[in-house]
Structure 1
């Protein structure tokens, strides 16, 4: 895919580790994405998920306030594609989230870029079918 495929994509970033959040922001900015966040607290992330205003999301599984699962559930209900970022294996996720896209921490910039491009292609397909 070309860089323009993701240019302007609005990405919700939920991450409470500052260095990782900065890295994710830098990679997304280089790709031409617009960043919503980063958000470090569960309550704020859940409200932002409800409010919308983004195309895809990158969710750290464990953030301040607990697990990001309610945010993931909200995004599923709204049909928003997302990536779960975690150092834990699938076994640590609830069954409903085990099949969702994942980035295993630590991840490389290339891995993040690939996952973002896949999510953006999902958005494109779902909009084409609307």
Structure 2
């Protein structure tokens, strides 16, 4: 696992619901992570990924500019572990090629997401 200069793993957060994104950002930071984003569109996350690589990522399945497919593909290409965090079960069909990825349905306690990030980083999922 790579870490930032401050020793904290970097988590890309892709979430277009402001309250969820900010709460997730705070909870991740409280748990010892650096947060990239939260990005509210796939385009913004892809722009960031042109020059940076996170240690892991939490992706909302469907954003205002479409499904997170391109971001997920780029992360997969770089072998960055990620999970999908979605409030809509039907989003699974949008991203069927990622059936092997951890999928957490909203709402869940944020501790569940923090624990899932820890598992991604140590390779337990």
State the TM bucket, normalised to the shorter chain: 0.7 to 0.9
The residue aligned with 1:114 is 115
Structure with the higher fraction of residues in helix conformation: 1
1:57 matched to which residue of 2?
A: 57
What TM-score does the superposition give when structure 1 sets the normalisation length?
Answer: 0.82
Q: Is the 8 A contact 1:42 1:65 kept in 2?
A: yes
Q: Which moved more, 1:92-101 or 1:12-21?
A: 92-101
SS in 2 for 1:51: coil
- The answer for the alignment partner of 1:79 in structure 2 is 79
Q: How many equivalent pairs are there?
A: 117
Between the aligned partners of 2:22 and 2:96, the Cα distance in structure 1 is: 30
Alpha-carbon RMSD across the aligned residues, in angstroms, is 1.7
Deviation digits for residues 51-95 of structure 1, max 9, x if unmatched?
A: 323211111111121111110011001100001011223743433
* Structural mapping, 1:1-130, within 5 Å: 8-89=8-89, 91-122=92-123
How far 1:47 sits from its partner (Å)? 2.1
Where does structure 1 differ by over 6 angstroms across 4 or more consecutive aligned residues? Answer: none
The match for 2:3 is: none
Separation in 2 of the partners of 1:31 and 1:66? Answer: 30
Contact 1:50–1:74 under 8 Å retained in 2: no
Q: Which residue of 2 aligns with 1:128?
A: none
Structure 1 unpaired stretches of 5+? 1-6, 126-130
